[in-house]
Structure 1
C-alpha cells in the first residue's frame, strides 16, 4: 500500500502557512531613475527553495497572479504594467486549472513604471500580493506594504512635464471623511449611496462600549464557548474508536501496570499524569495558535476563500485515505525519536513524552478532527475558544487511559481490534467527505463565485449518505474490508439512521429549511428553486445608508454583524430570523442592517485608521465592518445583534448566538420599548 508522509505540525499549525507567507516570499523595494521624468518601483522577490510564485499575467479562472496595488499616489502616475524585468516565467500546463501558467522560482525582480508629475509633493503607498505554492500546499496572496516619499526619489529624477497629478487621498478614518450633507431624500433603497455630514458620521461611528455594559451583559454570550467545549468532547470520544487510538488503550494501560507491578497505586498515579499530559499538549496547542495570531486574525483566516479551499483539499485527502485509497503516516523517525525520549527519561518527563507519542501516532486519524475543531473555534472570535475546544477533545481522549488504569479488569470487556475498526475508519471517511463540502461552500460564499449553491450541496450530501447506508449494509466493499456474512444489529441501526438522514435532506431541494443542519449547508438565499420563501422586505448592507433611512422613517435600527463563513449566523437565519414572529416584528418595527465582516469587495479607496496605537488599513468592505464592530462595540464575534437609535446608541443589551425564538423576540421588544420612551 502506498504511504504518504505528512507533517503533524504542518497540519495542526495550518494557520501558520497563511501568516508566514511573507517569510516564504520576501520582498525588497526600491526606486530607480528610468529617465525622461520616470522612475521604476523595483520589487525584488526571493522565494524559498522548494516553493514557486505565479506570474503577473494569469488567464481568467486560474490562480492568483502576482500584482501591485496602490493605496495612495501623489505627484505621480502609473505607466504600463507590473511585470518581471530580469527573467521570463517558466510556463507549463497546469492539470488542476487546465491552462498554461507561468511561475518563478528563486529570485525575481519586478518593476512598475511611474511618471513623476510633482517631485516635491511625491508620495506613494501600496502593496504587492503574491501566492506561493509547493507540491503540497499554497499560501494566500497576503499584501506586503511599501511606501516612498519625495526624499526617496533618486537625485537625478526630473519632472515629466505638466500633466495631471494623479493624486488620490487616503481617508484618515471612517468618522472623519467629509461628505456633502444631503439626507433629505424621501426614500432610500438599500443600494443607494447616502451622504452624511462629518458630525453625523462621527456620531454614528463613536464607541458605545460603556453604554452597552451599562445595559447589562448578554446572558447568551458564552453559549458559543460551551458549544465549542461540547463539540471538542464529542469529537474526542469519536476519536477513541478510530483504528489509530483504540488499540493504544490496552497497550498503554498494560504498560503502566507492568511498569509498576508491585504498586497499583503507582500505576494509577502514572496513568493519571499521562492523561493530564494529553490534556496539556492539546490545550497548549490551542493557546499557542491563538496567542500567535489573535482571535480576530483567526476569524479572518477561517473565513478566507483560500484557506477554506486548502482545508477542503486536505479533508478530501484524508477522506480518500480513510476509504483505503492510500495510507497517511508520519515519518517513522518522529515516533522513534519520541520512543527514545521515553526510554532515556524518567518520572513525569517520561510520561509526557509518552503522551506526545500518542499524539503523533494517532495523527492520521485525529488530524482532520483537530483541524476542523480549530477552524470552528476560530470563527467564534474569542481568545479562549481554540483552547477550550482542545480541552474538551483531550479530556475525552484521556478519560479511558486513566479509568482503565484504575480499573484494569475493565480491559477484558473491551472489544478486540479487528475488521470493525476498518469499518469505523471508512464511515469516518464518508463523514469527512461530507464535511469537506462545508469548507468549499464557505470559500464559495466568501468569494462570491456562486458555484456550490444549496441545491448542489444537498444533492452531493444525499448521494454521500445514501452510499454510506449501502456500505453499512455490506452492499459496497472497500479496500481492507472483510467479508460480511451477516449485518450486525449496530450496523443495521446506523444504516437506518443514514438512510433516514438522506430522506430528510430531500425536501431541502425544494426549499425546506432543514434547521438542524442550517449552520452547515449554504443559506437558503443560494437556492435556485424554492416552493415557498418569505424574505425580509428590506435589508440594508451599508451602515450609514441604513441609519439615514431609519432617521427618515422614525424606526429603530436592528444591526447584525455576520459573515458568509459564519456557521452560527446561517443557523440563526434559518432557525430564528425565519420565524414568522421575528420576521414580522423586524419588517414592521425596525430598519434591518446586515454587515458581513468577511465581504471581500474592495473599497473605492483604502481607509487608514488608528487602532490601539497602531495604524491599520481597511481595504475591503469586510475590513470596514469588522473595524466598526471592534471600534464601536468592543467585540469581534459573530453573529452579533444590537438595537440602535438614530444617533447610533444602543437601546438594549446586545444579543449573540441563541436559537431560542422567545429570547430573540424579547431582545427586540426591549429595544423597541426603550426607543419609544
Structure 2
C-alpha cells in the first residue's frame, strides 16, 4: 500500500479528536452530527473513475483518475487530515502507485478543494497482466464542508467506486482517452498517438471533427491496396467510353461513379457494425458475385454498341425536368457494384471505425464517418475516370475513337469474368477466359487478310490479336488439362506452411501444454488480402523459419455459422485478414490486412518471438 494511504490510516486515528476539538473551539467551523435534528444535510460528492488511455497494455502503463465533483459553495477538507483519501490494492498484474492530489486552495488557515477535483493514480502493468475486461474497486473517502450561512463540516463519508478497464496484450496500440478530464493536471502524460488508426481513435475519443479528416485520408490510402485494383480497369473502361469525348462529362460520370461506391461501401460498413457481421462477408456470396459480374458484363456489352443503358424515359424526364440527357444511371449502378467488389478491402482505419460504431451504437455519426472514408476511397476513381474521359477528348475523332470505346467494353467484360474467379470451378473459369480471348481476337481481325498497302500499325495490331488468340488456346488447353502446365510452373516453389484449420481448442491446448506461442490467421475465401498473405508472406522461407516453433492456427470465416460467430466474439474480429500472436491466455500483438514478410518479421522481433 502506498505511503499516502498509510498516512491516512495514521491520521484517521486522530480524526475523532479533530472533530471534537472543532466542536469546542468558538468562532471556528461547526460539525453537523445529527442531520435529523433540523440542521443542514450533506449534499454529497459525485465520484467517478476515468482512465487516461483506452486500455492498459501488458508491460505498459496508464493512469487512473478519480474525479470528485464538489457542489457549489462547498469544499473538501485538507488531505493532511486523513479524511480525503484514495485506496487501491495491486491486482491482475497491475501495480498502483501513490495517489497524486492536486494543489488545494487556501481557506482560513488550511487548504481545501473546490469544484472538480481530480486525484490521479499511476498504473503499471506487468508482462503477465491478466488480459481481458475487468472492474477494479477503488475505496475513496472525503469530508465535505458548507461555506454559506453557518459554516458546517459534515461527517466524513467513504464509498467504493468501480473502475472498468481492459487489459490488452503487450505491444497493442492504445490511445489517449478522457483528455478533457486529464488536461492540465500533474501526472503522467499519455504518449502522442502514432499512426493513422491511433490518431483516428484519439479524435473519436475526444469527439473531434478531425476524425472526419483522418477517415477521409484513410480512405485515400485504402484505395491503393491490391483489392481495389480490379475496379481500376472497370473505371477506365466505362467512364472512358461513356464520356463521348467531353472532359466535363467524364468528370461528372466519375463523380457519380465514386458516389455509388461511397453509398454502398458505407452502408455495408454500417450494417456490419450494427449487426456484428464481418465487413465484406456479403461479397463472399456466390449469388452476389454473379450479380456483380452480370452488371459489369451488361456495361461491357453496352460499350460494344449492342444497346444504351439509361433510366426509363418517363423517370428520366421527371428527374431532369424534361431534359433529354441520359447516362447517369449507368455509372451510379456500376459504382454501387464496385462498392460491393471493394467491400473485402479492410485495413486498420476501417476496422477502427467499425469497432467504434459497434461499441458506441451511434449509427448516424458512424455512417457519416464511413461515408467520409468511402469518399476518400472513391477519390482515386474520380481522378482515373476524369483522365479516361480526357483521352476521349483528344482531337483525333472518327474510327479511332470508336475503337477505343469498344476496347473499353472488352475491358469491362474481362472485369466481369475476373469477378467470378472465386465462384466458378477452375476448369470452367479458364474455359471462359479462353472463349473471351478467342472471341476478342476474331472480332479484332486476327484472321482478316491484310492488303499489300497495310501500314506498320495495322501489322502490329494483327500480330497482337494473333497472340491473344494463342493465349486463348493455352487457357482452353489448361481448362481440360490443369496439371499439364501447373506441374512445371510449380517446380522450385517454396513449401507451404502446415496449419491447423479450425481446430481452435486443440491448438490452444497444444500451445498451453508445450508452452508454445500461437500464430492465428483469420481468413475467408472471398478476402483478396488473405490470399495475398498466403502467397507473399507465409511462403517466404525467413518467415517460415521464424514461426516453425509456433502453433499455427487458421480460422476459416468464409461462411457465417454459429461457430464463426463464437470465434468472432472471442477474438474480437471485425475484418480480414486478422493475424493474432498470443502466448497462453495473453494476446501479444495483432494486425489487420496484408503485411509483407519483412514487416511481419519486424513485428516478431519487436516482441522477442
TM-score w.r.t. the length of structure 2 is 0.49
TM-score w.r.t. the length of structure 1 is 0.45
- Say which one has the larger Rg: 2
